[in-house]
C-alpha cells in the first residue's frame, strides 16, 4: 500500500471543529489547540470579541487520556478557551511558545522555532516534535497577534506530520518545506480568518493558499482545521473543496 492510503492507515486524525484535532502517532495521542467551550462571545481585549458559532463535536471528557497537547498559542480564545485550559491540567506535556509556557506554567514546555523534543513512545522508541515558525497575520503582525508556533512530528518508522498552527504566510511554509519537507500529512489551519484589527488582512491561510501550501510541502494528505465554528472565518468547507479541485489536489484533501 502506498501514497495516501498508507498514510491514512498509519496516522489516525479526528477533527472536532475549530482548531482541535486528535492525532494518534507512534502509540501516543496528540491534541491540537483545545477549544471546546459553548457558542458565544469571547473577549480578546480592547472591547473586542470573537464569536463562536457552533459547538465542538466532542466533549473533552470523552477524549480519553491525552499524552501531548500541541498548542500553537495561548492568547486567543479560538485556540485555547476555558475548557481547554482546564484540560491542560491533566495532560503530562504541553508544547507551546516560550511566552505561552511562561504564562501557563504546569506541564507547559517552551519550544521556539526549530527547537526539538523527544517524547518517549510506549514501544520504547521516541517521537521527535520539532517546532516550526508561524506568522499569524500580515508582515509585522507579531507585536499584536503574539508568538505562534507550528509543529512537525517525526519517528523512524512513521510518516511525517506537520501541524501549521495559525499561519498566514506562504513564505513561512516554503522555509518549512525546505527544512523538513516533503511531509506526508499536513494539518493546515485554514478558514481565511479576518478581523477589523488588520483591516481584513488574512490571519490564517485562505483556501487557495492552503492548496498552494499542500503543493509546497509535497503533502500526500491534507487535513484542514480551524475553518468553521467561528464568525471570523470567511471561507469554509465549500471554498476548500473548490480550491483543492482547481489546484488538481482534491484527492489529497481529507475533510471530516
pLDDT digits (tens, 9 = 90+) for 24-54: 999 999 999 999 999 999 887 777 888 999 9
| Model pLDDT, residue 2 | 31
pLDDT at residue 10 in the model: 67
- What is the per-residue pLDDT across 177-223, written as a single tens digit (0 to 9) for each? 999 989 999 999 999 989 877 777 888 999 999 999 999 999 999 99
Task: Tell me the pLDDT tens digit for each residue of 8-29.
Answer: 446 999 999 999 999 999 999 9
Global confidence as pTM: 0.94
**Among the four given CATH numbers 3.40.190.10, 3.60.15.10, 3.60.10.10, 2.60.40.1120, the one describing domain 3-251:** 3.60.15.10
Residue range 73-112, pLDDT digits in tens: 998 889 999 999 999 999 999 999 999 999 999 999 999 9
Quick one: pLDDT at residue 137?
66
Nearest Cα residue to 74 out of 65, 63, 66, 82: 82
The domain segmentation of the chain, as residue ranges, is 3-251
Cβ distance 33 to 230 under 8 Å?
A: no
Amino acid at each position: 500500500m502506498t501514497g495516501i492510503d498508507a498514510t491514512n492507515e498509519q496516522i489516525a486524525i479526528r477533527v472536532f471543529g475549530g482548531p482541535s484535532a486528535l492525532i494518534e502517532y507512534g502509540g501516543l495521542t496528540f491534541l491540537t489547540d483545545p477549544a471546546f467551550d459553548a457558542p458565544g462571545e469571547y473577549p480578546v481585549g480592547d472591547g473586542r470579541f470573537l464569536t463562536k458559532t457552533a459547538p465542538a463535536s466532542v466533549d473533552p471528557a470523552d477524549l480519553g487520556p491525552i499524552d501531548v497537547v500541541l498548542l500553537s498559542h495561548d492568547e486567543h480564545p479560538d485556540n485555547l478557551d476555558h475548557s481547554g485550559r482546564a484540560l491542560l491540567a491533566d495532560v503530562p506535556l504541553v508544547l507551546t511558545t516560550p511566552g505561552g509556557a511562561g504564562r501557563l506554567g504546569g506541564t507547559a514546555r517552551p519550544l521556539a522555532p526549530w527547537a526539538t523534543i523527544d517524547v518517549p513512545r510506549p514501544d520504547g522508541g521516541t517521537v521527535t516534535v520539532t517546532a516550526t515558525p508561524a506568522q499569524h497575520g500580515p508582515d509585522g503582525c507579531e507585536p499584536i497577534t503574539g508568538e505562534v508556533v507550528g509543529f512537525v512530528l517525526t519517528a523512524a518508522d512513521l510518516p511525517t506530520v506537520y501541524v501549521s498552527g495559525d499561519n498566514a504566510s506562504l513564505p513561512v511554509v516554503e522555509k518549512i518545506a525546505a527544512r523538513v519537507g516533503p511531509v506526508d500529512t499536513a494539518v493546515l489551519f485554514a478558514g481565511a480568518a479576518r478581523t477589523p484589527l488588520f483591516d481584513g488582512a488574512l490571519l490564517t491561510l485562505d483556501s487557495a493558499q492552503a492548496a498552494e501550501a499542500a503543493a509546497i510541502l509535497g503533502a500526500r494528505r491534507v487535513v484542514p482545521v480551524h475553518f468553521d465554528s467561528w464568525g471570523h472565518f470567511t471561507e469554509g468547507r465549500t471554498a476548500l473543496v473548490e480550491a483543492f479541485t482547481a489546484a488538481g489536489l482534491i484527492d489529497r484533501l481529507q475533510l471530516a
